[in-house]
Each structure stands twice: as C-alpha cells, then as structure tokens.
Amino acid sequence: MTVRPILIHPDPRLKKRCDEVSDITPELRELADDMLQTMYDAPGIGLAAPQVGVMSRLLVMDCVKDADTAPRPLILFNPRIVWASEERNVYEEGCLSIPDQYADVERPAEVRVAWIDETGAEREEQFDGLWATCVQHEIDHLDGKLFIDYLKPLRRQMITRKMVKLKREREREKARA
Ligand code: K1U
Ligand code: ZN
C-alpha cells in the first residue's frame, strides 16, 4: 500500500465530473487500498479518487474517530444517493485538498446510498451524523464540487487565494530541497 500525493485546490481535476467504473479491476482495488492508506496517513475521514488525480467514481471513508472502536473502512464504487432526508444538518467541514480551512455547510441529515463494493457486490446503506456529511462531501468530489462551492463568493475567493499562495510556497520549498 502506498500513500499517494493529494491534489490541492485550485486544480482542474478537482472541478471535473468523474467517470463511472465498469469493472472492479485489480488496479482499482489497489487504488482503493492506496486511498485508504493515504486517508489514514493525512489524517482524514474520507477521500475521493480525483483528490489523488484519478478521474473514476470511487471514494473511501472511515468516520470512526473513537480510538476504542474498531475502524470501519468503506470502499464505494459508483456511489449514488437514492434517498435524502428533508431534515438538514450543519457541520463544520474541512477538506484534505483545502488544508486548514473550515466552514459550516448545510446538507441532508440522513442519506441512503447505493454502491458497488470491492468484491463487485451491490450494497445499500443509510448513513446519518458524520457518516452522512462525509459521504455527501465525497460524492460531491466525484461531481467536481468542493465544500467551498456552498459558500458566498467572497469567502470562496479568499480561501482560493490562500490555497494559491500555499501551493506557490510548497513549489518553492520543493525546488530548494
Ligand atoms: O474529502 C476530504 O477532503 C476528506 C475530508 C472529509 C470530510 C471532513 C469533514 C466533513 C466532511 C468531510 C477530511 O477528512 S478533512 C479532515 C478531518 O475532517 C478529520 C481529520 C482527522 C480526524 C477527524 C477528522
Ligand atoms: Zn474534500
């Protein structure tokens, strides 16, 4: 398993809709394992394939935060929301592609999601709490949408400017090394 580099906003690959997966190939299973490793290493609670530069509809997540509870890594190919609650929930979201920036985002409090798992089996599950927020955030990534797209334009522009600066600094550091 390999930790892959995570793309930082702005990047055109984070703004594109990803392609459906037609076959769960060994390469895609390896990618999913690398993504889990990358997510735990970051650390994060979710990761979508475009964040590592792969334009396929694949996401991983594990929202177990409590050290006393066993991890629950999930691998979702072609995930789709088949039902969303009327009730909404606000959560202060972050994103591994937008480091150190957080903002309140309102989304359905519960969602039912259908997907194909790593064995090729069809799965369906209802998520609530942080799991519901996270799976919606990750499915947005597969549609080229970031959590800052829910914010007012001025706030979004400020965050984007900070990220442009961060990327420039990281490039300079890389050139010096
Ligand atoms: O998609 C991503 O960029 C991952 C992102 C997922 C997410 C976070 C919060 C709300 C919705 C979706 C993250 O994992 S950011 C890091 C984070 O939230 C976290 C890190 C360590 C422990 C607990 C949470
Ligand atoms: Zn994100």
Q: pLDDT digits over 1-52, tens only?
A: 899 999 999 999 999 999 999 999 999 999 999 999 999 999 999 999 999 9
pLDDT of res. 78:
99
Active-site choice (125, 138, 171, 173): 138
101 CA from centroid of ligand 1 (Å): 11
CA distance 84 to 138: 15
Taking only the tens place, the pLDDT of each residue in 148-163 is 999 999 999 999 999 9
Nearest protein CA to atom 1 of ligand 1, as residue: 47
Whether residue 117 is predicted with pLDDT greater than 90 in this model: the reply is yes
pLDDT of residue 152: 98
**pLDDT-above-90 percentage for the chain:** 98
Topology of 12-176 in CATH? Answer: Peptide Deformylase (3.90.45)
Q: Which ligand is nearest to the CA of 146?
A: 2
Please tell me whether the overall predicted TM-score, pTM, comes out greater than 0.85 for this model. Answer: yes
138 classed as catalytic: yes
- Which residue from 52, 90, 95, 130 has its CB within 8 A of the most atoms of ligand 1, so it is best to mutate? 95
**Predicted confidence (pLDDT) at residue 106 exceeds the cutoff of 90:** yes
Instruction: Give me the pLDDT at residue 65, please.
Output: 87
Average pLDDT over residues 59-68: 95
Average pLDDT of span 130-143: 99
Residues 136-142 have a mean pLDDT of 99
Q: Where are the domains of the chain?
A: 12-176
User: 142: CA distance to ligand 1 center in Å?
Assistant: 16
pLDDT for res 138: 99
Percentage of the residues of the chain whose pLDDT score is greater than 70: 100
